[in-house]
Structure 1
Amino acid sequence: MLPQDPITAITPEVVGWRHHLHAHPELGFQEHETARFVAEKLRSFGLEVHQGIAGTGVVGVLKAGSGSRAVGLRAELDALPVLERANVAYASANPGVMHACGHDGHTAMLLGAAKLLSRRPDFDGTAVFMFQPAEENEGGGRRMIEEGMLERFPVEAVYAVHNWPGVRVGAIAARVGPQMAAVDGFEVSFEGTGAHVAMPHLGDDPVLASGAFIQAIQRIVSRSVDPLSALVVSLTQIHGGNVGNIVPKRVWLQGTCRFFDPMLSDHCANTLDDICRGVAAAYGVTATLRYARGYPAVINTADATARAIAAAEKAVGLHNVITDFAPSLGCEDFAYMIRAAGGTYAWLGAGDVGPGEGLHGDRYVFNDAIIPAGLRYWVHLVEHILAPSAAREGIR
């Protein structure tokens, strides 16, 4: 009888970890039980474990041989403030909090890779397993960098995967250059004196001003940038007034800008400011703009991506490696880690999903069938980059 493939053998255990994490989700910087679970598993595999990084972050260190090279592998710990409606036996036991993006799967796969590599450390160097808090909106990756994680655990590059609906099951997609967008946010308030609707001439109308602003900002994308440059400017909230017969004194709007070219951050900020000033002057109200720089773009570096693609070809086969695809205007704070150390962010194909079943949907279900591909990718990546021959010959 042939011995069972170690990845096939460990997959049910990894699936069990994933289901446990899914049933016990925690929001950003509150992942105390999740971090404890991860740390306990890493210790049981024999890794050196460091907790409390960026609050609830965990780092596991696995050394093999005498090589001085090191590589970083990252997964996310946090869930989303979503009320789960997925019909699964392991649904969230924390009402209003859900792993609706697959971070439970990412964490479980990285734990599985740590266990596999600790059992058979067929590499020469150090693998650093980074379990990051607060990827969703709060910038946990940036905080890990600011707190000196890469000084404590220096690596030549960092790598991450994200399950990706719409890409065929088990395929791995990575490209040199932008893979995910930068994101900025803005808030605008228009203020006037308000008035009774029967006597509008006695006041100013922030509602009219906000309507003019909504129309005017469409020109940012359509008329102020090269049409070949990816840019999205979207309004996501509008609030004003609380009764039907009074023109309100204030209308507040919120929106977002997404792009790949970092120069578009200043362009959006300056153009929004110009529009706010112009609308305020035209409508006799005051305008206040708050523009916040958010996550930078995820820009995969060339050397790291070449290694990621080579490992992916070994893991899932050449026919399942995708390098020619359009990047996403979604955002990811893994951008901070790549910007600090170089690296690659890859998508792991999760197949087709229905309405409400995609990322951040309340009926989203991580596809457990992709776990073996994720495990193989992580193991092959470490063994490829930190191969004993590579340690002797230097970076290839």
Structure 2
Amino acid sequence: MLNQLLQKLDEKKEKMIEIRRYLHQHPELSFKEEKTAQYIADFYKDKNVQLRTNVGGYGIVVTIEGGHAGKTIALRADFDGLPINEEADVPFKSKNPGVMHACGHDGHTAYLMILAESLIELKDQLKGNVVILHQPAEETPPGGAAAMIEDGCLEGVDNVFGIHLMSLANTGEVYYRAGEMQAARSYFKVRIQGKGGHGSMPHLSNDSIVAASHFVVATQTIVSRRINPFDMATVTIGSFDGKGSFNIIKDSVELEGDVRTMSSEVRATVEKEFKRILAGLAEEFDITYDLIYSHDYPVLVNDKEMTEIVVNAINKAEIPEVKAVIETPPSSGSEDFAYYLQKVPGSFFYVGAMPSDGPAYPHHHPKFTINEDSLIIAAKTMAAVVVEYFGQK
């Protein structure tokens, strides 16, 4: 079956690229992907599948029933864009000002649509069922995965797999990791309230900027002095809103940022120390504060057995476009695919998509682009995983 599947994918490579380019030209932001969802649903509406739309929002679930009884595998691709004005010099540039596909989700969706179509055409040979999860809103917490799960997208699913295209990784290389692969993420927003006044009389005021500046420095000691050096954590303050008049002591300041950790224990420690520093700041500077501290995406933990299936499948398939299968270190980035892995064992892996000409830009960059050869690689590697999973030679 694998040879038939790979042949079909080769025949549809240009169609895959066309779909990707269409999606790239018409990006939509998280939780607003109405037209994208309709485009995907229209692709499946005349096919011999079970189709559910509006799953947990704009999510789409496609169930391909195999010709033989067996387990059920789920494959997931996300389809939301980002609030970025595209600067990439491509002929299929975004037509929606201020919105672009700067993370490869257009490529994820395109490869999975064509793989799904090919699996549908060979469904009688499948020794089990394949569930296709087209997921919205990966980029913006609380994300689309949790809502789709709550709406039943994993009912009856035994295992789940996903791919992310990586613009800074060599095209032709595939990256895997068993265990903790991507970090958990937390968000915070702090409003520090002091007492405003004139710069000529600081003793009559209570300077929120000075207090907030101490807080910025103190929070960095959480990682350097409260976390085991062999554990991973970051505390980033990405916004410090203290703008005012040059000679006025500002009465309040707002700070926003995020926290990345690779375990629930470290996540709890960072939160505890963060709040302890704030409480001490209030006492030291005689200020008050309002705090929002929330946890969104958890640690992404790949199942060892499912990851072995991925590695064995790709190596055995001898896909011509795949040059190497490499174990990768953990990433401090976050991904809501982690929610699926909390429910059923599975594996999430990377496919290199570095452009063959011109510079490579990181994800979420206005000049982000991918090598479109990565699409066929993603499709073929996931096809190999499906066939290996069902034990078909």
Please confirm whether the aligned pair reaches a TM-score higher than 0.5, indicating the same fold: yes
Count of aligned pairs between the two proteins: 384
Aligned with 2:65: secondary structure?
strand
How many angstroms does 1:307 deviate by?
1.1
Cα distance between partner residues in 1 of 2:368 and 2:318 = 26
Q: Which amino acid aligns with 1:127?
A: V
Amino acid at match of 1:212: H
**Residue 306 of structure 1: how far off its partner (Å):** 1.2
Question: Unaligned stretches of 5+ in structure 2?
Answer: none
Q: 1:168: Cα distance to partner?
A: 1.8
User: Could you list the per-position Cα deviations for residues 8-38 of structure 1 after superposition, in whole angstroms to 9, with x for gaps in the alignment?
Assistant: 2110000000000000011112111111111
CA distance in 1, matches of 2:42, 2:340: 25
Counterpart Cα distance in 2 of 1:116 and 1:146: 29
Residue 107 of structure 1 is aligned with which of 104, 109, 126? 109
How far apart, CA to CA, are the structure 2 residues paired with 1:326 and 1:183? 18
Instruction: Tell me what 1:214 maps to.
Output: 216
2:116 counterpart of 1:135: no
CA deviation vs aligned residue, 1:144-201 (integer Å, no higher than 9, x gap): 11222222xx211111100013322122111110111100011112111111111111
Aligned pairs for 1:197-276 within 5 A: 197-276=199-278
Q: What SS does the corresponding residue of 1:35 show, helix, strand or coil?
A: helix
Counterpart residue identity of residue 347, structure 2: T
Instruction: For residue 274 of structure 2, give the secondary structure of its aligned residue in structure 1.
Output: helix
In percent, how many aligned pairs have the same letter?
32
Deviations 1:60-89 (A, max 9, x none): 111122313100000001100111111111
- Which amino acid in 1 is paired with 2:168? G
Correspondence list, 1:16-27, <5 A = 16-27=18-29
Q: Distance in 1 between matches of 2:121 and 2:318?
A: 18
Letter in 2 for 1:372: I
- Corresponding residue SS for 2:333: coil
What TM-score, normalized to structure 1? 0.93
Q: How does 1:1-396 map to 2 (within 5 A)?
A: 5-121=7-123, 122-138=125-141, 139-151=143-155, 154-313=156-315, 314=317, 316=319, 320-323=324-327, 325-351=328-354, 357-387=361-391
Q: TM-score, normalised by structure 2?
A: 0.93
- More displaced 10-residue stretch of structure 1: 285-294 or 348-357: 348-357
In the alignment, is the contact (CA less than 8 A) between 1:84 and 1:363 conserved in 2? yes
Instruction: Indicate conservation of the 8 Å contact 1:54/1:140, yes or no.
Output: yes
Which stretch has the larger CA shift, 42-51 or 338-347? 42-51
* CA RMSD, 1 decimal: 1.9
Equivalent-residue separation in structure 2 for 1:64 and 1:149 (angstroms): 18
| Contact 2:168–2:362 under 8 Å retained in 1 | no
Matched-pair contact (CA < 8 Å) for 2:57–2:147 = no
Q: Per the alignment, do residues 366 and 352 of structure 1 end up closer, same or farther by CA in structure 2, a change over 3 Å counting?
A: closer
**What is the SS of the residue equivalent to 1:149?**
coil
**Matched-pair contact (CA < 8 Å) for 1:162–1:347:** yes
- Cα distance in 2 between the residues matched to 1:69 and 1:356: 40
